[in-house]
A and B are shown apart, each in its own frame.
Chain A
């Protein structure tokens, strides 16, 4: 009985640890090996508090979580530009640093000898005081609470943004998501939960030492996450109990004295290795259904679709001729985007040289020029993805150079990428829904506590997403993963996603390249419709016949310099340009 209870306690503690780790690596796609350090922070913070300062376990528990969250938040923001293997390395350093602090700050932590006589939380006076059974019940309750919190967050707009960040950070930023904030939030939440598991551990064992929280603990929790399948949720408690049961059970097998100390590690090492090689998607295999499930989870709160806003009119809109003259754009100044003396160097390469040009409101402007002319770089400079070395970009009279990509997006500029940068493991619907601005559910607090408000906005967004998908001919693909789409469909989805942002200026990087006739016509009619709605388009395009067909104005770049800009027909008539570039394209 005692053994079963303690097994149960460990299963819940590890479940909390694995849930928090999975939030970070599975959902947000941030692989940090410092997780043991956050568990350690929770264990020590609460252990020190309850053994030396305040006796109240719940208060200590919360304080420990807050401290850990703060450390996680700072680390996340400091390592913003660090990803992949660099993140692994940086987090190793953090793990070592905290291990050293807890080992050497002897006056506070007890040093390498450890922190002893951490009191069991006293529940009530009497027989049950500090009993294992009551402690076990408390662990179960807290684990259930943590599972509930994970569930709320994972299946909320916040969870969707995290998964989008995991799939493509740059694309998420270009859709107005402030990457640093989300990174900080997920790290803070994950670290706080890890600290909770550490606190429970400390108060169950009543003794902790730095040796309990080495990289081996990270690897053990990692094993649970991998067995559960990264990015999954309900399998986490199952996998945690399973892995814990297997490794813990080894202690009760009568092993020769020489083998015993290493047997546990060898066993979970083997388990981890087997899964990494044979079943990297976890116990249940590929998690495609998970994304669909996430979508379905929210669908149950659907309200009947309402037609709202500018996007709504798209569905009804018919194919019209180009030119925005019919719209009420006359009142506003003609010039929408102004680029003044823009410069960019990459090492010794001067990729954008003193470019000054404007984009007119309500028009389609084509950015043309040979490969390597700096067209995409110009897009990156305008949208804030790459900082310029000099020069000013003004949008609607407001200086936007120096702003972050998400701020530029929120100002009303939407951009697509030549390589699309879709959120591959999200469904089409989720790809589009992610991009909507003003989502209250992107805040962790709202996702947890203001469910009504979140759901109302979610239903609204879902309805508009359906319209946008239908407008681009993707209505029947809404529950398919973006990675399963064909080439033309993927390009449509990239358009759909940027439209969700409701941008006034669309910067489209080769929206037509590689498309067949039917898809090409579709893209052209979509662009016509968008212009008819009063939007402005700037696109990169190589096909001159197509440029003539869709564009009003052209900007011709070569070797990073502006060669000419103006009316498309005038540009086409220019003999010099013809010979240098356009002529070639026309005969092709």
Chain B
């Protein structure tokens, strides 16, 4: 029982990490219909930058996150404005977008390896040290980093929810998501909305790779690997539904950890991805999706 409780809490933290990667991807896909597969590699760059500024330049975590934030926004917007826009105009259908974003993803993550080294970095020791402060609720332990992961995840969703529902920019994004043609007709500048969406979508996911790196070390593929799971979680949760993305992320996180009660840990991912594949093929609309 104690173990199950602990796994449940760990699952929620894992869900938070998934949700952070997923939320940016979800936002970008639902508003711009771009399968932005370079998202993962961009997050990898963010994690490297946080590590580099903190551990190598002594700029502190705040400095690291600031530099990473600038970098991901630039990379995200550059993808949209320099790459996807051209492809959307030249060849309709999403095929070439997928091809191009696979290409830039591979280029970016390997360039990151060339610049920062291909060895796995121990981010935890290099940035926050081995401090193990945290909370303890009876038998359940919640280390500070996990607590922060959860808090950041919930904060990101709350801020994004407020942004989409209350601000002018957010309303424009929802309008474009709903009907791009109509949005253009009523005078919404869709190119600007697209750029803003890529900026926000990249920014909200920025901390994700760092948190993942804290947990298991940092290397060139962590962003891409995390994105693979997040990608299918987004579709399983339902396109166009932030709540669907959040719930599906937590559900998958809990499934990941709770499955350890019955199966060997090495089959964790196989089970998770099989369940998600079934969900996506049997119910393409997703859990809470609006679109078929």
> Residues on A close to B: CB < 8 A?
25, 31, 33, 78-79, 81-82, 84-86, 88-90, 92-94, 96-97, 100-101, 103-104, 215-216, 219, 222-223, 226, 258-259, 261-263, 265-266, 268-270, 272-273, 276-277, 280
Q: How far is the CA of A197 from the CA of B143 in the complex (A)?
A: 48
Band of interface residues on B: 35 or more
Q: How far is the CA of A159 from the CA of B284 in the complex (A)?
A: 28
Given contacts A85-B98, A100-B269, A277-B100, contact A90 B281 (CB under 8 A): yes
Given contacts A89-B280, A96-B228, contact A222 B99 (CB under 8 A): yes
Closest 3 CB pairs of A and B: A262-B110, A269-B107, A272-B103
Q: How far is the CA of A395 from the CA of B220 in the complex (A)?
A: 61
Q: Which residues of A contact B103 (CB under 8 A)?
A: 219, 223, 269-270, 272-273, 276
Binds A, one of B11-19, B87-95, B161-169, B201-209: B87-95
Q: Are A277 and B231 within 8 A (Cβ)? A: no
| Nearest-Cβ distance from residue B52 to partner chain A, whole angstroms | 15
Q: Are A266 and B114 within 8 A (Cβ)? A: yes
Q: How far is the CA of A215 from the CA of B269 in the complex (A)?
A: 16
Q: Are A85 and B232 within 8 A (Cβ)? A: no
Q: Which residues of B contact A90 (CB under 8 A)?
A: 232, 277, 280-281
Q: Are A273 and B104 within 8 A (Cβ)? A: yes
Given contacts A92-B231, A272-B102, contact A280 B91 (CB under 8 A): yes
Q: Are A93 and B277 within 8 A (Cβ)? A: yes
Given contacts A89-B231, A97-B270, A101-B270, contact A79 B86 (CB under 8 A): no
Closest chain A residue to B268, Cβ basis? A100
Q: Are B235 and A86 within 8 A (Cβ)? A: yes
Closest chain A residue to B276, Cβ basis? A93
Main secondary structure of the interface of B (DSSP, over half): helix
Which residue, of B91, B110, B284, has the highest number of chain A Cβ atoms within 10 A?
Answer: B110
Task: Tell me if B35 counts as interface (CB < 8 A to partner A).
Answer: yes
Q: Are A100 and B273 within 8 A (Cβ)? A: yes
Q: Are B90 and A92 within 8 A (Cβ)? A: no
Task: Tell me if B113 counts as interface (CB < 8 A to partner A).
Answer: yes
Q: Are B106 and A280 within 8 A (Cβ)? A: no
Q: Are B100 and A92 within 8 A (Cβ)? A: no
Kindly identify which residue among B35, B86, B99, B274 contacts A97, using a CB–CB cutoff of 8 Å.
B274
Q: How far is the CA of A31 from the CA of B95 in the complex (A)?
A: 8
Which residue, of A78, A81, A85, A277, has the highest number of chain B Cβ atoms within 10 A?
Answer: A85
Q: Are A276 and B96 within 8 A (Cβ)? A: yes
| Nearest-Cβ distance from residue B159 to partner chain A, whole angstroms | 27
Q: How far is the CA of A539 from the CA of B280 in the complex (A)?
A: 38
Q: Are B99 and A85 within 8 A (Cβ)? A: no
Q: Which residues of B contact A82 (CB under 8 A)?
A: 280-281, 284
Q: Are B107 and A97 within 8 A (Cβ)? A: no
Q: How far is the CA of A387 from the CA of B83 in the complex (A)?
A: 41
Given contacts A31-B95, A261-B113, contact A88 B35 (CB under 8 A): yes
Q: Are A79 and B281 within 8 A (Cβ)? A: yes
Q: How far is the CA of A357 from the CA of B289 in the complex (A)?
A: 37
| Nearest-Cβ distance from residue B37 to partner chain A, whole angstroms | 8
User: 7 additional contacts, CB 8 Å, given A215-B224, A269-B103?
Assistant: A81-B284, A82-B281, A100-B269, A104-B270, A222-B102, A272-B106, A276-B100
Q: Are B284 and A86 within 8 A (Cβ)? A: yes
Task: Tell me if B126 counts as interface (CB < 8 A to partner A).
Answer: no
Q: Which residues of A contact B98 (CB under 8 A)?
A: 31, 85, 88
| Nearest-Cβ distance from residue B38 to partner chain A, whole angstroms | 10
Task: Tell me if B191 counts as interface (CB < 8 A to partner A).
Answer: no
| Nearest-Cβ distance from residue A492 to partner chain B, whole angstroms | 25
Task: Tell me if B111 counts as interface (CB < 8 A to partner A).
Answer: yes
| Nearest-Cβ distance from residue B10 to partner chain A, whole angstroms | 20
> Residues on B close to A: CB < 8 A?
29, 33, 35, 83, 86-87, 90-91, 93-96, 98-100, 102-107, 110-111, 113-114, 117-118, 220, 224, 228, 231-232, 235, 266-267, 269-270, 273-274, 276-277, 280-281, 284
Q: How far is the CA of A412 from the CA of B56 in the complex (A)?
A: 74
Given contacts A89-B232, A104-B267, A266-B111, contact A272 B99 (CB under 8 A): yes
**Can you sample 6 A-B contacts with CB below 8 Å?**
A82-B284, A100-B267, A215-B224, A216-B106, A272-B102, A273-B103
Q: Which residues of A contact B99 (CB under 8 A)?
A: 222, 226, 272, 276
Q: Are B110 and A269 within 8 A (Cβ)? A: yes
Q: How far is the CA of A104 from the CA of B220 in the complex (A)?
A: 22
Q: Which residues of B contact A263 (CB under 8 A)?
A: 110, 114
Q: Are B270 and A269 within 8 A (Cβ)? A: no
Q: Which residues of A contact B111 (CB under 8 A)?
A: 262, 266
Q: Are B107 and A277 within 8 A (Cβ)? A: no
Q: How far is the CA of A31 from the CA of B232 in the complex (A)?
A: 16
Q: How far is the CA of A538 from the CA of B103 in the complex (A)?
A: 50
Q: Which residues of A contact B118 (CB under 8 A)?
A: 261-262
Q: How far is the CA of A103 from the CA of B273 in the complex (A)?
A: 15
Closest chain B residue to A218, Cβ basis? B102
Closest chain B residue to A101, Cβ basis? B270
| Nearest-Cβ distance from residue B146 to partner chain A, whole angstroms | 25
Which residue, of B98, B232, B276, has the highest number of chain A Cβ atoms within 10 A?
Answer: B98
Q: How far is the CA of A93 from the CA of B281 in the complex (A)?
A: 11
Q: How far is the CA of A96 from the CA of B269 in the complex (A)?
A: 8
Closest chain B residue to A89, Cβ basis? B235
Closest chain A residue to B107, Cβ basis? A269
| Nearest-Cβ distance from residue A282 to partner chain B, whole angstroms | 12
Q: How far is the CA of A227 from the CA of B178 in the complex (A)?
A: 36
Q: How far is the CA of A570 from the CA of B275 in the complex (A)?
A: 60
| Nearest-Cβ distance from residue A38 to partner chain B, whole angstroms | 16
Q: Are A93 and B107 within 8 A (Cβ)? A: no
Q: How far is the CA of A269 from the CA of B113 in the complex (A)?
A: 14
Closest chain A residue to B278, Cβ basis? A78
Q: How far is the CA of A215 from the CA of B93 in the complex (A)?
A: 22
Q: Which residues of B contact A92 (CB under 8 A)?
A: 228, 231-232
Q: Which residues of A contact B110 (CB under 8 A)?
A: 262-263, 265-266, 269
Q: Are B35 and A273 within 8 A (Cβ)? A: no
| Nearest-Cβ distance from residue B260 to partner chain A, whole angstroms | 14
Q: Are B280 and A273 within 8 A (Cβ)? A: no
Q: How far is the CA of A86 from the CA of B267 in the complex (A)?
A: 24
Given contacts A272-B102, A277-B83, A280-B91, contact A93 B232 (CB under 8 A): yes
Q: Are A273 and B107 within 8 A (Cβ)? A: yes
Q: How far is the CA of A265 from the CA of B281 in the complex (A)?
A: 31
| Nearest-Cβ distance from residue B60 to partner chain A, whole angstroms | 27
Q: How far is the CA of A261 from the CA of B220 in the complex (A)?
A: 11
| Nearest-Cβ distance from residue A41 to partner chain B, whole angstroms | 15
Given contacts A276-B87, A276-B100, A280-B96, contact A270 B280 (CB under 8 A): no
Q: How far is the CA of A89 from the CA of B96 in the complex (A)?
A: 15
Which residue, of B86, B94, B114, B280, has the highest number of chain A Cβ atoms within 10 A?
Answer: B114
Closest chain A residue to B282, Cβ basis? A78
Q: Which residues of B contact A276 (CB under 8 A)?
A: 87, 96, 99-100, 103
Q: Which residues of A contact B104 (CB under 8 A)?
A: 269, 273
Q: Which residues of A contact B102 (CB under 8 A)?
A: 33, 215, 219, 222, 272
Given contacts A104-B267, A269-B106, contact A258 B117 (CB under 8 A): yes
